[in-house]
Amino acid sequence: MNELTQKLQAWIGPHSQMLTALGAPVAVLLVLTMMVLPLPPFALDFLFTLNIALALMVMMVAAHMIRPLDFAAFPTVLLLTTLMRLSLNVASTRVVLLEGHTGPGAAGKVIESFGHFLIGGNFAVGLIVFAILVVINFIVVTKGSERIAEVSARFTLDALPGKQMAVDADLSAGLIDEKEAKRRRAELGDEADFFGSMDGASKFVRGDAVAGILILVINIIGGFAIGMAQHGLSLGQAADSYILLAVGDALVAQIPGLLISVAAAMVVSRVGKERDISAMIGTQMFGSWRALAITAGVVATLGLIPGMPHAVFLLMSGLLGWGAWWLRERERRAKLAPPAPPPAQAATDGEASWDDLQPVDTLGLEVGYRLITLVDKARDGDLLSRIKGVRKKFAQDVGFLPPAVHIRDNLELRPSQYRLLLRGAVVAEAEAYPGLWLAINPGHATTKLPGTKTTDPAFGLPAVWIEEKQREAAQMAGYTVVDCSTVIATHLSHLMQIHAAKLLGRTETQQLVEHLTKLAPKLMEDVVPKMVALPLLQRVLQALLEEGVHIRDMRSIVEALAEHAGGTADPTELARRVRVQLAPAIVQQIYGPVKELDVIALDPELERLIVQALTSPHGQALDPGVADQLARRAAETSNQQEERGVPACLLVPDLIRAPLARLLRRAAPRLKVLSHSEVPETHSIRIGSVIGGAA
């Protein structure tokens, strides 16, 4: 026997994948076979028992799942179990009609047991019990779950675009990587497909209930006709034999059908994705000692009314009262528990030391006391992990690893206020509300939402703080909805992009050089620090970052410095020559993969005036009035370009690109300034706007 088992296991091992793939087709073929071929009574008993066991298993899986996609195969399982019950009905009908005249055991022990033990051999009672089960299944359970499935499918499909936009927003903010974004998008698609399938699969359950009624009627009519016409039974004998078997057969199929209906209702009616149904019911229904105490009092009052069954009511009241007392004691002990002791501090003699001098953090985040929960992992705070994602995204996009963000609480701030600090100076502050969601209007949403109106702290878009229950409606209305942690993380990411040049200190530059040395050791050995000193490299990189040029392609930057460092040591001039080397990447960063560049140009007269003023041998001397007018016109033109959906980029001669970029940076921070030599030969230029010479 052991040898046979070992041989069987040795054969199954390499063929397990093939057997798994054949499982569903073979099951369908077996179901269809049961409809055509006659089955002996023992086979019917086995299959009816298997049907009941499968129904119980499906209901247990539905009760313990956490998310709907944990049981994504449920619509298919619903189809297969329905087919199995109907095929068993066909097989048992054949046996009942052919062998029903021989006695109640003709269709197997299971049907006989249901016909005698459950309904006492009285087919009238059986018909009533079957009718009640059909009403419960068809009218109560199936009707309700069918409606819930229909509404869930519609709402899930309507909310899908908003959820996908939220995933894209998290990806853009650096909170998640591309792999996680793909997983979330796939999960959203699977969830929409699941609820759409459940909307159709609920019709299987309804059709199964109708088929059960029709099969019972057919069995009764056919049994009477066959028993009286072919076997010469009297009306009473035919009723005792065929109706009893038909009712037992119907009950055997209806009970598993009811279990499957309940499982379907549990799948579509559950809310939340954190705990299974048992845990949710236990916590939400039996977690309040006040509710149990009031219920115990009401039940005890009913038990004291004359004529009531006092023992049962008072026993139930006592159990509920004990439960309320136990919950109350547990809550009291939790409140009286001593707080965790603070960490022991080393004893000092009060003398000042260098340890008292705290260095200024390069990046700092101060939060009010209500926002402390966002950074407390014990209370499911996820802000720390999101900030790690922001730093990782920044390093991947910009090209160097930024300093760590030091977070501390500040009791001087308002409870929901936070501050972002750069080298000890406040660069931004805003408010965020834990437990609420920020609905950001990207520009096309027209529906007004109830809540606290504000602006998105990162980009200045109009927004509203809303409650969790309004989240789905806001997404369907076209808003981008993010939680409190995402608001702070996105704000931090935006400011890091703006102040990237200030984040690149000497330490970060040295780490960047060490990292590149691992990738191109010979190049770095020849250039840094032999040809380009580390401070000069830092100033060149900062000059690039100040104008939003990413430094991911450090190999090209170092090669360009190696080519031009012998001719000049001016970081501004070296940065200009590096920009020419990085021209394709800079243009792609601004415009994307397009080949025709829609640019802003200067009026020829104005351009000539600026060139003369900014390249004068006596020093740059642009008239203040002209400079102010130029800055205002540049800001207006930049906004017009962005409203057209085109990047705002000013194309100027090489000689004035750098000083003009510095002049316009404050007035039009999103305006990029390119020189003629920075336009790749593979691209063409189209002048979309002109800054006129009226200034």
DSSP string of 538-593? HHHHHHHHHTT-----HHHHHHHHHHHTTT---HHHHHHHHHHHTHHHHHHHHH-S
Cα–Cα distances (Å) from 90 to 87, 125, 204, 224, 226, in that order, read: 5, 24, 17, 18, 17
Mean model confidence pLDDT for the chain: 81
Q: Is the pLDDT of residue 5 over 60?
A: no
Range 538-552 average pLDDT: 93
Pair (610, 542) in one structural domain? no
Structure-model confidence comparison of residues 430 and 252, the more confident one: 430
Specify the CATH number for the domain of residue 486: 3.40.30.60
* Domain interval for residue 431: 359-501
Please determine, for residue 17, whether its predicted confidence score (pLDDT) is greater than 50.
Answer: yes
Question: Residue 484 has which token pair?
Answer: 């409190």
Q: Rounded CA gap, 296 and 313, in Å?
A: 9
Q: Is there a single domain that holds both residue 129 and residue 253?
A: yes
Domain end position, chosen among 518, 549, 581? 581
Q: Please check whether residues 377 and 484 belong to one and the same domain.
A: yes
Number of domains the chain contains: 4
pLDDT of residue 350: 62
Lowest mean pLDDT among 221-225, 483-487, 536-540: 221-225
pLDDT, residue 695, reads 36
Residues 140 and 260 in one domain: yes
Please give the span between the terminal C-alpha atoms of the chain, in angstroms, as a whole number: 101
Residue 457 lies in a domain: yes
Q: Are residues 569 and 635 in the same domain?
A: no
- Residue bearing the bigger pLDDT, 667 or 679: 679
Mean pLDDT value of segment 494-507 = 92
Structural domain contains residue 1: no
Query: Between residues 383 and 28, which one has the greater pLDDT?
Result: 383
User: At residue 493, does pLDDT exceed 60?
Assistant: yes
Q: Which of 141, 138, 144, 156 is nearest to 59 (CA)?
A: 141
State pLDDT tens for residues 574-609: 999 999 999 999 999 999 989 999 999 999 998 898
Residue 485 sits in the same domain as residue 508 = no
Q: What DSSP assignment string belongs to 404-429?
A: PEEEEE-TTS-TTEEEEEETTEEEEE
Q: What is the DSSP string of 331-386?
A: HHHHHHSPPPPPPP-----S---GGG-PPPPSEEEEE-GGGGGGG-GGGT--HHHH
Same domain, 394 and 436: yes
CATH of the domain at 684: 3.40.50.12790
Which helix (H) or strand (E) segment holds residue 463: the answer is: strand 462-466
Same structural domain, 508 and 489: no
Regarding predicted confidence, which is higher, 11 or 304? 304
Cis amide prior to 529 (ω within 30 degrees) = yes
Asked, for residue 291, whether it belongs to a domain, the answer is no
Note whether 530 and 477 are same-domain residues: no
224 and 135 belong to one structural domain = yes
Q: Are residues 91 and 220 in the same domain?
A: yes
The verdict on 661 and 534 lying in the same domain is: no
Q: Is 485 within the bounds of a domain? A: yes
**56 lies in a domain?**
yes
For residue range 63-109, list pLDDT tens digits in order. 777 777 777 777 888 778 877 877 877 777 777 677 656 655 555 66
For range 529-542, the mean pLDDT: 91
DSSP letter (8 states) at residue 470: G
**CA–CA separation, 115 vs 148, rounded Å?**
35
| CATH code of the domain covering residue 565 | 1.10.8.540
Residue 267, pLDDT > 50, answer: yes
Select from 216, 239, 271 the last residue of a domain. 271
